[in-house]
């Protein structure tokens, strides 16, 4: 289970974005996270993904407290959580081809690249061999987001955080990527936090929806 307990967090001391937030994502569950713009949904995603240290409270991964953020966290904790952000062009090194961007987490962890696994994963997200040889500026937002989802899944994380993953996509690409995540959840038992402003999408995607409010 991925849990956040009593999370207070923000970017400027004295001006919290989150206050006393509790959340839990169990294996095999898709939890929707909704709330108004500015209420801290993305901040909570960064805290749970071990990218931002909370001011107070704690994050636990399968019963083990998080032991740091970013590269100060143990590798086994960092790799347990995959993240797909809203803006793919800010998430990918523009110098890399899509294929190299997808396998980048394997190289960072000094793991071998399994060509069969990579081919299966890229096919699953809907990327052709020709697209894999292109760089980010040569593909659409939807194609790049497909690559970002494949990159988030390449390490087979136990938890996946989708932070407004579909906000910039058309309806058909949204449906395709949500189907990939749902299939991944069913096949692996991974837990998912699906953050979206689209209540209709969360109604069909998530098993339950949690709402948070803006700190006043």
Are the C-beta atoms of 114 and 149 separated by less than 8 Å? Answer: no
Give 208's strand partners. Answer: 31
For the chain, give the percent of residues with pLDDT over 70.
100
pLDDT of residue 37: 87
Average pLDDT over residues 133-143: 96
Asked if pLDDT for residue 142 goes beyond 80, the answer is yes
**Whole-angstrom distance, CA of residue 110 vs CA of residue 28:** 28
What tokens does 16 get?
A: 């919290």
What mean pLDDT is reported for the chain? 94
pLDDT grade for 13, boundaries at 50, 70 and 90: confident
- Domains of the chain (ranges plus CATH)? 2-211 (3.40.50.300)
For residue 141, what pLDDT is reported? 95
Closest CA to 125 of 163, 95, 84: 84
Q: Are 190 and 153 in contact (CB under 8 A)?
A: no
Distance from C-alpha of 4 to C-alpha of 6, rounded to nearest angstrom? 7
Distance CA 20, CA 22 (A): 7
pTM of the model: 0.94
Pairing of strands 15-25, 30-34: unpaired
Q: Which residues lie closer than 8 Å to 181 by C-beta, 6 or more apart? A: 30, 149, 160, 162, 192, 194, 205
Tracing tokens 């407290």 back to the chain, one arrives at 65
Q: How many residues does the chain have?
A: 216
Residue 21's pLDDT band (cuts 50, 70, 90):
very high
pLDDT over 80 (residue 31): yes
Contact 22, 5 (CB under 8 A): yes
């Amino acid at each position: 289970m991925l849990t956040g307990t009593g999370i207070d967090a923000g970017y400027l001391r004295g001006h919290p974005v989150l206050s006393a937030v509790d959340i839990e994502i169990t294996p095999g569950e898709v939890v929707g996270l909704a709330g108004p713009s500015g209420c801290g949904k993305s901040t909570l995603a960064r805290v749970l993904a071990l990218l931002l240290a909370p001011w107070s409270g704690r994050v636990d991964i399968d019963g083990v407290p998080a032991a740091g953020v970013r590269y100060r966290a143990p590798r086994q904790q960092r790799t347990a959580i995959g993240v797909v952000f809203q803006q793919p062009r800010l998430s990918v090194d523009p110098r890399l081809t899509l294929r190299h961007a997808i396998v980048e987490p394997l190289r960072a962890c000094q793991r071998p690249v399994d060509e069969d696994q990579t081919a299966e994963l890229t096919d699953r997200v809907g990327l052709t061999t020709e697209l894999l040889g292109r760089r980010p500026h040569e593909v659409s937002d939807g194609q790049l987001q497909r690559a970002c989802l494949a990159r988030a899944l390449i390490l087979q994380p136990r938890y996946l955080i989708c932070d407004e993953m579909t906000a910039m996509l058309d309806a058909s690409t949204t449906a395709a990527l949500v189907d990939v995540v749902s299939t991944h959840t069913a096949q692996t038992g991974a837990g998912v936090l699906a953050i979206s402003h689209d209540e209709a999408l969360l109604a069909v995607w998530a098993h339950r929806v949690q709402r948070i409010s803006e700190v006043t």
